[in-house]
Structure 1
């Protein structure tokens, strides 16, 4: 794995950047019959723009014996080896490669991709028994972008513990770049973008409109005697049929003690309705019967029927309540923002934390709001539990809250 690229000297003319290093790695085994490499950008425009991967490959290969297929966007070499250029603009584009086999897969600007796309392409890395060609997945990226959090977690945090190598490169590594002009251009950007692009700082992130990242304190565990709830917001969508804008089913477990709130666990999935029911039941069993389960109830008879179904069929034996929140999402999130700003919201360590923080600091302008919504609702429920008679009124239609 190569993320943020290595800088490689090529001839006497110039130094090559991270994208060039990916292309060189892809070409390393083109003398081997049957070798197949593929290189991805997020969109075709990214792939085809001047100076991008395909343009550089033409610069390097046009005067060689390799043959270019414009239709397939593939170079074929005298050995029969191939190098293909492709893009994954939509989540489900990854399935276009179902059944394909490659020995080299590369992602240029990895933070522009979804983690699910990246992980899926690992299943395409295969080779014949006895082959001398290694299976490789290389990536290059700057900090920032929609995938910043998962790339940082996978490469920088988990990194070497799981055999993933990170090779940083900075402006000072390239003596052939006009440093003064580049820094003048960067000066027009925000401070966090300067930290990301000039200094390669993966810890530099923007503050949100309603929530600031540093308000949330990370702790190893919550106190043993917190009062807890689990709150779900359904969006039952099969991940295989999901689009980039599909909502997630989200379920948070939050605890409260002495005016402080602990976000203890977050489940966030795109699954079929049956799989969601199974997950919610399993989660309730893991939480224990002492943790009441709440669920946002959609308007109308369908919402009433869903709550009734979960109460009788899915969560029979557990304390389960429907919730009918009113008012705009932003208004409902303000008590959570106020508590966080006061230093009273803690987040328990977990693999979900970065994804949660990325979403909540982007609220309300961000693409997704599921985790923020359930967290805000949980805080309100916990506050209402001070008056247990009001908070747990067992009606089929759910409890209406302002």
Structure 2
């Protein structure tokens, strides 16, 4: 089901902002970046997101995301070798797959319901009616299984329209892993129990590899469209339980989507966010720092080791501005956060939060007051700069989101 209809009215008012290039050089099927994917009226991807495509932070040596990725890959490859996952012992790692995915691969093949919120244009970046910027690395799983991969890892940039705060960014990075079992081995050694046991043993080892040998792990039942049973793994870190990843046994429908007999082929999968892990392990306080070109940030992680702790090199003062408006029928908070990012240049705003909500007792119209926290990562902002950005945010919110300023 196409979920871009709600975007069209807004897109008509914002077409000037997206009128630059009309195609993206990237692949839908196999990572070949030469295939052109045209945009259409469903495209809701602003320029500040397009410019992030191809940045490949996870492939930059010495970058904290690359460090996390490399250590996970090394652990999985070593475990696969020691436990003889495959006859040839080869676990393939893919980190240069195109971020443009078909909606079939991103949603349908993974059994995501047609009315699931993740398909909505308020949550997902659509390139056109049938293509999106992938929302998770799991979008590649069926493709990889179908072409013969039986144990593999995929890492890359993923895209979601999201709120603005220190822990959320519209572009982030995920690592996914899949293991399929030899059909004869599964049928002879307990089937599903074997799969779940192997998955949890593997991830217990990964947690201790990343967080330390004495790390405590617990499993929380979860629900994902593409796995059953499903779990979230949490680790006890600095006295608090921290959610690290989601995982589970691949559903039969996913196996069948890859063209295999689901009665004979079974396997598991897990996925995790690299930024989330890096912020904890390296004590990085703001997700925007991963995009910093400041040498004071980059040089701290050049060693590629896990034991590094981020040392703040400066702290510029925040500036707060409020904006209050009556909502339009089509208003969505993610659209407002996207507009704020575009208007201010992407990374100048640290946080956007609702500080007050009011519903008129007679008309039932709803009004929200948002507090915008401006704080540049590399310098102090002047009052004039902040006022100018706030003025432009107000004007664009009125003109493009259809809200009534108060």
Return the TM-score normalized by structure 2. 0.22
Return the TM-score normalized by structure 1. 0.22
Judging by fraction of residues, say which structure has more strand: 2
